[in-house]
Structure 1
Amino acid sequence: MATTRFTELTGCSVPVQQAPMGAVSPPALAAAVAEAGGVGTLSSLRMTADQVVRGIDEARRATAGVLAVNVLTADVDEDVVAAAAERVRLVDFFWLDPRPDLVELAHRGGALVGWQVGSVEEARAATDAGSDVVTVQGTEAGGHVRGSRPLRPLLAEVLAAVDVPVLAAGGIASGPALAAVLADGADGARIGTLFVATEESAAHPDYKRAVVDASSGSAVVTGAFATECPLCATSRVPGCCAPPWTGWPPSTGTSSAR
């Protein structure tokens, strides 16, 4: 597998980061991806710092590979960022404007910082804030779509605008697709939907089957799930605010996802 700036920076051997997918991606999935050589990502959505630490510990029991924790939305619990930064290689952020104070907090704990963006302007803001990695998300992405442009032309513009490692995200679900964005100059890919159908995923079996059976024309951008969800106005996936996976995090009165 190709060595890139991303693999050299993070210490992984495969230039792939598993996207955080809330309830669909429990610690077992992050551990499996990390064990296979990529970067396995745990979601911290609506978790306390103690719950995030328990998730990291669970994943770490299964792998010595590279782990990340994702922080989502502008409602940031700085205790979560600090706790994660002390325990994983990468803390990454999405769906909030780049903030130098959060980058500094994560760096102070010893972690690298990644930021997923949907525009060239946001990519520049992320690097200006001190981010070590930028992920460019095109409109081909599943889940919550930040930007409004297809991946590859946006990727080209971001690569020309920033000097840090850049990951590509959106519609990358095969070896040839990964090879294509690497050939375009990306340092790796952030992949989510492909991992939904894995054994370690906590998605419902019917959901997994629907992903496997889907064709290139199956995805639809919809606002149907926007009710009481700050992320869902441009969601491609029904159930984006589903209940947490069975058994994680331990019941403390706070849900990990919704």
Structure 2
Amino acid sequence: MTTLRWAVADGWTVTLRSLNRWAREPGVLLLGLFFPVLMMVMFGYLLGGAMAVPGGDYFDFLMPGMFALAMLFGIESTTIAVATDAARGITDRFRSMPMAPSAVVVGRSVADMLNSAAGLGVLIVGGLLVGWRAHGSAVETLLAIGLLLLLRFAFLWIGVYLGLVIGRPEGAVAVQILVWPFAFVSSTFAAPDTMPGWLGAIAEWNPMSATAAACRDLFGNPAWGEPTWATEHALLLALAWPAALVAVFAPLSVRRFQRLSR
């Protein structure tokens, strides 16, 4: 119990380090919080007029996808933060200190999840302002929010691993480039069956599409496209995909962290 207590205390200390950095640089934090809102306004108003969603408004279809997209964008900030600490030698200093080995990874995870929860809250308020509504029950709405944060938790471990592998913030540009195709090849903005067959199949099985489809069902928002196995079992996939990603990338991240400077 003493070891666990110190591990929690050390992890919280690392979390506070990130929170204090955001307090000293509020512009960076605000940009990260409001960028998804800007994306929502751009796509909703610039493209929404050309989108005909059966049984609903385009914003009702778009918002669950935008929520999932915001969770994906968190990969970039996690990767840059981890790579910056590694490049400046801060990670090595942490490893040389008498602190729990898990503190750095846990502290980074908690800080990023708090940031993502705040960003999701801002985006939900933005959606409400443009007319989006959740028509499901309170329990279903909370479950949908939980699925979104679960997806962010899975993407967080990918960001941690990539940051440790890249080791330099300049290399994070490659991650930013790859995030965009992954974001667009999904059901965020349009139904997969409107795409070419091979591209639609990729979009349909995108982890973001699973979470977006499950959230549309839980929020009571309209779906778009012909029913498929993936859409009919979206809730199952929205749980399975994050579990699989965490099972792969969490051990890889811990192992990579342990091997630094050897």
Normalised by the shorter chain, which TM-score bucket? Answer: under 0.3
- Relative contact order: is structure 1 or structure 2 higher (C-alpha 8 Å, sep ≥ 6)? 2
Q: Which has the higher strand share?
A: 1
Structure with bigger gyration radius: 2
- Compute the TM-score of the two structures, normalised by the length of structure 1: 0.25
- Compute the TM-score of the two structures, normalised by the length of structure 2: 0.25
